[in-house]
A and B are shown apart, each in its own frame.
Chain A
Amino acid sequence: MNKNIHIQGCLAGKILWVDLSKKRIWTEPSQEYNNLTLGGRGTNSLIMLRNIKIGTKWSDPENLLCFGVGSLVGTMAPGACRVDVSTINIFNRGKGSANVGGSWGAELKYAGYDNLIIVGKSKKPVYLYISDSLVELRDAQYLWGKDVFTTEFILRKTLGKEDIEIAAIGPAGENLVRGSAIIVDTAKAAAGSGVGCVMGDKKLKAIVVRGRGKIEIADPGRFMTIVEKTYQKCKQNPATRLMRQAPLNLYADSEWEGWYTNMVTRNGQDDYWESTKRQRLMNSQNGVPSMIKGVRACYLCPTGCLPFLEIERGKYQGDKGEGFWINTIMGHACRLDISEPEAVVESWILTNQLGLDGDYTASVISWAFELYEKGIISQKDTEGLVLNWGNSDSFLALIKKIAYREGIGDILADGISLAAKRLGKNTEYYSSQIKGQPSIEPFRIPKGWALAVSTSPVAGRHLRGATMGSIRYGPKPRPGNFNSTDYVGQAQGVVWQAKTKELEDNLGICSYVSTWSGANFLEVSDLLELINSGMGVNLCEEDLMEFYAVKGRNLEKVFNLLHTNLSRKDDLPPQRFMREKVKKGPYKGVKMDKNRYNKILEEFYTLWGWDTQTGLPTKTGLISSGLAEVVEPLIQRGKLIEK
């Protein structure tokens, strides 16, 4: 049963459609979709569900590349800047989704569009130019082959404008590397599900946006009252300072607990990284923190988490760029056993420059390093590269080989499943993949984190329910257990966190200012007041958490059930982490216990209202979350519990 709401504010009002095959451009009103979903990712998911025929492959012209700007983006809601990018997941044919910040999304809304949907394929490289109602496909032959930084530079120079925002792909996306990202502002990556590869396959090099319009709100006075309250919370919260420099601030402390619980080392052989390496990478004298030249913020962000780094010594001297994340430490450092600060920063800059998904890149390369260690591949396979742990030169060389599909990079560019078939010898066992997508996540120590990553409908990433800051700082109370290493109570915490993420992705609110990071400036009650006053509706917290959030999750679940054979077995962690124990450190001997994991998985299914054993949705559950339209197709495929 759908909620009968009529949104009266915060929206730009239109969905922009661009058919690259037919060179056709048109718009439709966005309100009907947004009334049903609250916007952003929810609207992308609904458009995909209604418009992509079963059997469509990621590389078919009929696949859609959907950009969904959150419904609060463009307003003064703090941290409202995020854009969801959805398409067919390149790794499994199911729902793909990535999320990105910056200023690009707000600019698209000021241009008049809540969503941008790309369909078809261009024969020649093009870029899309959007300036309010002027929408044009322009030749991009001269940009094809250029990296992301050069593309940004050339477009700004040739267009002669400083006030444009650009989303672009690099050589990786052009060369159809599965782990390709769409890079916004040269440094913020919509990464995961192969969204950059789909954009490259459509021969769409970049999307340039400039908007001069306005966003109106239903009740401006009431809206600004809650805006002021949340800004005050941000100013007064001691967590702000931590978040403002995260992750560098947290991880500069070599005893920070995240080093012990969340770092997977040497491609998953262990979950412990030695103290000397931690200190070498992150010490304030000559580690990564010493390279900070400033900190930047995405659009409307009161927290500001983007370090701008410049390498001032060694062979990468002079290279610079924005952003350095916990994922960079997890993937580019621990996973490869590289503690040389300049090399880790350089590798981060390089993945952005080439348009690669950093997690994918670190996961497939660390896998190759382990195969080399085990003698499954040799220098004959790597064009002479020595893939021993900690070898940053080889890591950097392989990043380039993947982006340009050279030598072994051509194999690694197709993802681990296909590469493992070519290499044989049980090589897939050494991989970290969820639903076919390479991952860098921990699966042994933090149980809720592992549950969230393993069950993510868009495969193997931690922003669909992994509990992080909510463990440490609140919000309190929230359901579940705050000790991340317990099994008991994790399902409750993960489902609550995943529901808040559903709302955040529909509204376009960054997780760092909402509940996930623990900064907690925007609690669910604050989101509710922003929605009611900004959109002119009258919802309650239960509507948000038990209807719109559940609907958002079900939309992606249903897409997967209709388009793939994914099932309960695909919600399990990789086998390695259920067999091999942590070898060193305070969690020595710990692994993921399969039986206990299955128990929390069943609790997780039950909390979403799905069948405890199969994880399939129920007829009543789907109808009550407003998805009656998918009941019949699911019954036809035997993928619905009829109760």
Chain B
Amino acid sequence: MKIIRDNKLCYGCKTCQLACSYHHTRSFWPEKSSILVLRSPLTGKIKWSINQTCDECLNEIEPLCVKYCTYQALKIAK
């Protein structure tokens, strides 16, 4: 299982990044997130990446990044 993102659906709100940090720390701490979202205000482009600290949200029913993406840009690839 891994998390994949559809660039066309992503709005760049960074909710996935913060939700991930909550899973890892039980606080809101973007620096400790497995996900990094960068937006260029000048071009509108969004860069999204996920690193190896992602544990696919062990002990959660579904990964929090997927759960809280209201734009349905994130999915679980099996």
Chain A contact residues, CB within 8 Å of chain B: 74-76, 103, 110, 149, 152-153, 162-163, 185-187, 212-217, 220, 224, 227-228, 231, 234-235, 240, 293-304, 308, 320, 322
User: What is the bound-complex CA distance between A297 and B26, given in angstroms?
Assistant: 25
Could you say which of A185, A224, A235, A300 contacts B22, with CB atoms under 8 Å apart? A224
Interface centre among A213, A228, A297 (most CB of B within 10 A): A297
User: What is the bound-complex CA distance between A207 and B57, given in angstroms?
Assistant: 36
With a cutoff of 8 Å between Cβ atoms, the chain B residues found around residue A227 in the complex are: 68
Chain B contact residues, CB within 8 Å of chain A: 11-15, 18-19, 21-22, 25-32, 38-42, 44, 46-47, 67-68, 70-71
User: What is the bound-complex CA distance between A185 and B68, given in angstroms?
Assistant: 24
Interface centre among A74, A76, A187, A212 (most CB of B within 10 A): A76
Task: Report whether A217 and B18 are in contact in the complex, using a CB–CB cutoff of 8 Å.
Answer: no
With a cutoff of 8 Å between Cβ atoms, the chain A residues found around residue B42 in the complex are: 149, 152-153, 186
User: What is the bound-complex CA distance between A307 and B44, given in angstroms?
Assistant: 10
Task: Report whether A296 and B27 are in contact in the complex, using a CB–CB cutoff of 8 Å.
Answer: no
User: What is the bound-complex CA distance between A296 and B42, given in angstroms?
Assistant: 12
Task: Report whether A231 and B68 are in contact in the complex, using a CB–CB cutoff of 8 Å.
Answer: yes
Task: Report whether A296 and B28 are in contact in the complex, using a CB–CB cutoff of 8 Å.
Answer: no
With a cutoff of 8 Å between Cβ atoms, the chain A residues found around residue B67 in the complex are: 228, 231
Contact A295-B11, Cβ < 8 Å, known A76-B22, A152-B42, A231-B70: yes
Smallest Cβ distance from A263 to chain B, in angstroms? 28
Interface centre among B13, B28, B29, B38 (most CB of A within 10 A): B28
The 7 closest A-B pairs by CB, nearest first: A214-B29, A297-B13, A297-B11, A308-B44, A302-B70, A185-B41, A186-B41
User: What is the bound-complex CA distance between A301 and B27, given in angstroms?
Assistant: 19
With a cutoff of 8 Å between Cβ atoms, the chain B residues found around residue A231 in the complex are: 67-68, 70
Smallest Cβ distance from B56 to chain A, in angstroms? 18
User: What is the bound-complex CA distance between A293 and B45, given in angstroms?
Assistant: 11
Contact A214-B18, Cβ < 8 Å, known A296-B11, A297-B13: no
Smallest Cβ distance from A180 to chain B, in angstroms? 19
Could you say which of A187, A217, A295, A298 contacts B28, with CB atoms under 8 Å apart? A217
Task: Report whether A217 and B27 are in contact in the complex, using a CB–CB cutoff of 8 Å.
Answer: yes
With a cutoff of 8 Å between Cβ atoms, the chain A residues found around residue B68 in the complex are: 76, 227, 231
Could you say which of B27, B39, B44 contacts A293, with CB atoms under 8 Å apart? B44
Task: Report whether A76 and B29 are in contact in the complex, using a CB–CB cutoff of 8 Å.
Answer: no
With a cutoff of 8 Å between Cβ atoms, the chain B residues found around residue A214 in the complex are: 21, 25, 27-29, 31-32
A299 nearest in chain B by CB position: B14
With a cutoff of 8 Å between Cβ atoms, the chain B residues found around residue A76 in the complex are: 15, 18-19, 22, 28, 68
A-B contact pairs, 24 of them (CB 8 A): A76-B28, A149-B42, A162-B38, A185-B41, A212-B31, A215-B28, A215-B29, A220-B22, A220-B26, A227-B68, A231-B70, A240-B70, A293-B44, A296-B12, A297-B71, A298-B13, A299-B13, A300-B18, A301-B11, A304-B11, A304-B71, A308-B44, A320-B44, A322-B44
Task: Report whether A187 and B29 are in contact in the complex, using a CB–CB cutoff of 8 Å.
Answer: no
New A-B pairs, 10, CB < 8 Å, besides A162-B40, A213-B29, A308-B44: A76-B22, A110-B29, A214-B29, A216-B28, A220-B22, A295-B11, A297-B13, A300-B13, A300-B18, A301-B11
Smallest Cβ distance from B1 to chain A, in angstroms? 21
With a cutoff of 8 Å between Cβ atoms, the chain B residues found around residue A212 in the complex are: 31
With a cutoff of 8 Å between Cβ atoms, the chain A residues found around residue B29 in the complex are: 110, 213-215
User: What is the bound-complex CA distance between A185 and B47, given in angstroms?
Assistant: 16
Task: Report whether B13 and A74 are in contact in the complex, using a CB–CB cutoff of 8 Å.
Answer: no
User: What is the bound-complex CA distance between A206 and B41, given in angstroms?
Assistant: 15
User: What is the bound-complex CA distance between A298 and B14, given in angstroms?
Assistant: 9
Task: Report whether A302 and B25 are in contact in the complex, using a CB–CB cutoff of 8 Å.
Answer: no
Smallest Cβ distance from B57 to chain A, in angstroms? 13
Task: Report whether B28 and A304 are in contact in the complex, using a CB–CB cutoff of 8 Å.
Answer: no
Smallest Cβ distance from B65 to chain A, in angstroms? 12
Smallest Cβ distance from A231 to chain B, in angstroms? 6
B12 nearest in chain A by CB position: A296
User: What is the bound-complex CA distance between A76 and B13, given in angstroms?
Assistant: 11
User: What is the bound-complex CA distance between A298 and B31, given in angstroms?
Assistant: 19
B70 nearest in chain A by CB position: A302
Smallest Cβ distance from A101 to chain B, in angstroms? 11
Task: Report whether B22 and A301 are in contact in the complex, using a CB–CB cutoff of 8 Å.
Answer: no
Could you say which of A110, A187, A299 contacts B41, with CB atoms under 8 Å apart? A187
With a cutoff of 8 Å between Cβ atoms, the chain A residues found around residue B46 in the complex are: 296
User: What is the bound-complex CA distance between A103 and B29, given in angstroms?
Assistant: 14
With a cutoff of 8 Å between Cβ atoms, the chain B residues found around residue A217 in the complex are: 27-28
Task: Report whether A322 and B25 are in contact in the complex, using a CB–CB cutoff of 8 Å.
Answer: no
Smallest Cβ distance from B69 to chain A, in angstroms? 9
User: What is the bound-complex CA distance between A157 and B14, given in angstroms?
Assistant: 23
